[in-house]
Structure 1
């Protein structure tokens, strides 16, 4: 199971890198063409928007996987361990329900928009709505995995309960991880 999640994680990371690189190349190329040659690529802006939407939704999957979403846990910190587990399970069941709603809506929107085409590229608009399906399935798998850990691997509950209260805390944690990987300051 860990191997599957690792493969899924690497796949989403590669897709995010491709989306970001493609956006940068398309936008920069279009700017250069407009200012230097007084022309441009008509479909460049539209494809950049497509890539941006995919990048955002894939980034949400990655943030959930890394437990990097911002959260407020001042109430949870005061609860005993068993109550924390109950609250965690209830909140993740709510998240699963919301992901189901996103999946259902994205599926219906994707089916409806298969005949609608983007104006500049001519691509079906279902490519935009389809990322909701990918996101909800990916995040659903992660939430189910977290629920399994919370219910059956009680020794690892503290790993799941780590929330980030500010962006500064996220930056500090990433700096700490980088220093531990590189062996500290040189």
Structure 2
């Protein structure tokens, strides 16, 4: 149970820290090589780019987990707490549908590219692995959105029970 709890808390953060660390090390080495030796590492920019792609996609899931995605909440602030929660649930359901759509079609495209065997120019990595960032991140995002929806349903149910108890008293 502890590994699952750890993954729930730190999965995205760990992946993002790792990817960012790789980017910093590679780009620093690239700049150092250019400045000191006058030559560069041929594959460094490509690896940094692929790490950045994965970092951005994993960041989507992290944003959902932390409820920190950019949104316009002017209309939301005009509503009462219960209506705000319901509207947030509708938005999360729409986001979940979009994430599932990207998961399915991103998975199909990634699988197709993996089968074609398209390779990156410098690293000679199968490009399907780069494209896998979208479906993997959308799977994580779908899980996080499902968690959010379950918590929101629980809050809505708790609020309804409290309101019912207050009427009885």
Q: Check whether TM > 0.5.
A: yes
Answer with 1 or 2: which has the greater Rg: 2
Equivalences, count: 157
Distance 1:141 1:156, change over 3 A: farther
CA contact (8 A) 1:150 1:156 kept: no
Equivalents in 2 of 1:73, 1:156: separation in Å? 24
Taking the TM superposition and a 5 Å limit, the aligned residue runs for 1:128-147 are: 128-147=130-149
Alignment of 1:60-75 (within 5 A): 60-75=60-75
Name the TM-score, length of structure 1 as normaliser: 0.76
Greater shift, 24-33 or 115-124, is seen at 24-33
TM-aligned CA deviation for residue 6 of structure 1: 4.5
In 2, Cα distance between the equivalents of 1:143 and 1:10? 16
C-alpha change, 1:46 and 1:95, in structure 2 (3 Å) is same
Whose helix proportion is higher, 1 or 2? 2
Contact 2:50–2:130 (CA under 8 A) maintained in structure 1? yes
- Say if 1:24 and 1:137 are closer, same or farther in 2 by CA, change over 3 A: same
TM superposition shift of 1:78: 2.0
Q: Point out where structure 1 has 5 or more consecutive residues left out of the alignment.
A: 158-186
Find the partner of 2:119 among 117, 120, 129. Answer: 117
Tell me the residue number matched to 2:166.
none
Structure 2 distance, partners of 1:154, 1:120, is 53
Q: Secondary structure at the match of 1:52?
A: helix
Q: Secondary structure at the match of 2:132?
A: helix
User: Counterparts of 1:1-186 in structure 2 under 5 Å?
Assistant: 4=4, 6-114=6-114, 115-154=117-156
Equivalent residues of 1:92, 1:143 under 8 A apart: yes
Aligned-pair RMSD on alpha carbons? 2.3
Residue deviations 1:42-74 (CA, integer Å, cap 9, x gap): 111100001111111112211211111122222
Q: Is the contact made by 2:107 and 2:135 (CA closer than 8 Å) also made in structure 1?
A: yes
TM-score (norm 2): 0.82
Note the residue ranges of structure 2 that are not aligned, 5 or more in a row. 160-169
